[in-house]
Structure formats: structure tokens, C-alpha cells
Amino acid sequence: MNYYIVIPAHNEEQFIALTLESLVSQTLLPKKVVIVNDNSTDTTAEIVASFANQHPFISLVEKKSSAIHLPGSKVIQAFQTGFETLDDNYDVIVKIDADLIFPLNYFETIEKYFKSDPQIGMVGGFCYIEKNSEWVLENLTDKDHIRGALKAYRKEVFKQIGGLKPQMGWDTVDELLCKFYNWKVITDESLHVKHLKPTGANYNKTARYKQGEAFYTLGYGFTITAIASAKLAMMKKKPLLFLDYLKGFWKAKSAKTPLMVTAEQAKFIRKYRLKKMKEKVF
């Protein structure tokens, strides 16, 4: 299977060489890797160019955008810029961050899953962060969720869900729509990926309301939003975020912010999320 990778990158000189080194060392090499240098002010572009000179399947694309890192919109707009440079001869499209170190068999294992079952639509491993000189699971989400840092999509799924949404919640709505269309989402706990920069490290302060807005645009409704907000705030060990998330939800509702999904999809999502919540309680 041909897999293409797109990597949005903004001021990643500290990490991107490690990411690219882990990609060019894979037991199954990608057919194409596009790095989108999004308005970096450091040596990110020069580092990528040096890899591109040695590996013909790597290319560099320049993009100019705001330096403000609001979750979702900036990274996906950069992804889209890179994706538009690719041809259609891929079987799997992969979006990854520029601060990851993959195990050498990562994409060989991903391919095996896709080949094993034509109904598998998305596959991913798990992100680990370094704490006290040990690599521990970056436990911000459930283990059946693929982190936004390392998403791999079967081409048919990627097209059916309409690509990636340039707003916060993109890395949740993709999986929910995958399930809406009866595709399977697979996570493999054996695939430990080192995440060198914790999620949200560069987020602007105004981003704290974006999570609640995302819950609204996912069609969650207030009850599911309240439960999800409480859970996420506790997982981040910042209980007061719960209030920020709820405020973001009500701001989006009051502004009649458009949903990321149709009414039918929103109904499915609420039913699915309530079912998962009940399973965990009982």
C-alpha cells in the first residue's frame, strides 16, 4: 500500500530532525512525505531541506500564516496546504506532528491492519511523553481514540468524511464520522510513539474556550458536554477548565456557531457518546 505523510511544522528546529530520521528509518518507507513550513522563524526549513536533498520522497512546502497557535485551525490549514500538493495515488493518508519519534516498524504494522480488514478505516498507535526520565502514556484521551498527532486514514474514509476540518475538534469528529459510515477505528497499544512536546504547549490563552466550542460544534448537547468537560478538566488536573469549557459551549450556542456535522450525524454522535459513557459507568 502507498502511504503519504503530511507534517505541519512551525518552529520545530528542536525536534523535526528526530521525526524525519525515524521516518526514513522505517521498515516500510512512505512513498511521499510533505513538510509544510508554516511561517517558522527558526531553522526548520533548512533542516527539512537537508533531508529532502538526501531522500527524494521528502518535499518542503512553504506557508505564511499567523503565529498564533489556536488549536485545530492553524495545523489543519497547514495540513491542507501540503495535501493539495499530492497526487491521488495513495492508499493511506497520514497526518503527523513534527515532534514525534516512531518505532521503526510503525508503518509496517499500520499497513498490516489496513490489509487485514477492508472495513478498517483509521489506525494509530499511542503517544508517550517523558516524565522523570521515563516515557509514560500521554493519557488525555481514551485508549480507543487515535491522537491528533498521528492519524492514518484509508483513502476512501478520508474522502467520505470530507477530509479534515480546520477547527478544534477535527481529531474527534473524524473518528465519529468514521463510525457513522460504519468504518472501524483501530488503536495498537504496542506502538509506542515518543511525543517530544506535550499537547497544547503552544496554545494561546484564548484557546481554553475553544474546547467547549468544539463540544458544541460536534453536536454533543449540554449534558454530554458537561460530562466530557468534567472528565477532560480532571485528566488535565486543572478543575477550573471545566468552567471555561462550559463558557465556550454557551458562547458558541449563543452565537449559533455552525456545527461540523449534519443533524443526522449529530444525532448519531450523541447516541454513540451516551452509549460509551454508560458502558464505562456500568
Question: For position 30, which CATH number holds?
Answer: 3.90.550.10
pLDDT for 73 equals 81
- Could you say which of 195, 228, 261 is where a domain stops? 195
Is residue 129 located within the same domain as residue 228? no
pLDDT for 68 equals 59
Is residue 43 located within the same domain as residue 181? yes
Is residue 58 located within the same domain as residue 165? yes
Each of the 282 residues of the chain gets a pLDDT tens digit; together they read 999 999 999 999 999 999 999 999 999 999 999 999 999 999 999 999 999 999 999 999 999 876 555 667 889 999 999 999 999 999 999 999 999 999 999 999 999 999 999 999 999 999 999 998 899 998 767 788 999 999 999 999 999 999 999 988 999 999 999 999 999 999 999 999 999 987 655 555 567 788 999 999 999 999 999 999 998 888 888 888 899 999 999 999 999 999 999 999 999 999 999 998 888 777
Is residue 182 located within the same domain as residue 262? no
Is residue 216 located within the same domain as residue 113? no
Residue 104 lies in a domain: yes
The number of domains in the chain is 2
- Could you say which of 142, 169, 195 is where a domain stops? 195
Question: 221-228 contacts: CB < 8 A, separation 24 or more?
Answer: 221/270, 222/249, 224/270, 224/273, 224/274, 224/277, 225/249, 227/277, 228/273
**Domain range spanning residue 59?**
3-195
Is residue 185 located within the same domain as residue 262? no
DSSP three-state, residue 184: strand
Residue 200 lies in a domain: no
Q: How far apart are CA 138 and CA 125, in angstroms?
A: 12
Is residue 218 located within the same domain as residue 247? yes
pLDDT for 50 equals 97
pLDDT for 282 equals 72
Using DSSP bridges, classify how beta strands 32-38 and 3-9 pair: parallel, antiparallel or unpaired. Answer: parallel
Is residue 175 located within the same domain as residue 213? no
Is residue 103 located within the same domain as residue 227? no
Which residues are CB-neighbours of 116 under 8 A, at least 6 positions away?
none
Residue 247 lies in a domain: yes
Is residue 217 located within the same domain as residue 89? no
Taking CA 120 as the corner, what is the angle to CA 282 and CA 146, rounded to the nearest 5 degrees?
A: 60
Is residue 166 located within the same domain as residue 261? no
Is residue 215 located within the same domain as residue 191? no
- Could you say which of 160, 195, 230 is where a domain stops? 195
Residue 241 lies in a domain: yes
CB 176 within 8 Å of CB 218: yes
pLDDT for 206 equals 65
Residue 201 lies in a domain: no
Residue 79 lies in a domain: yes
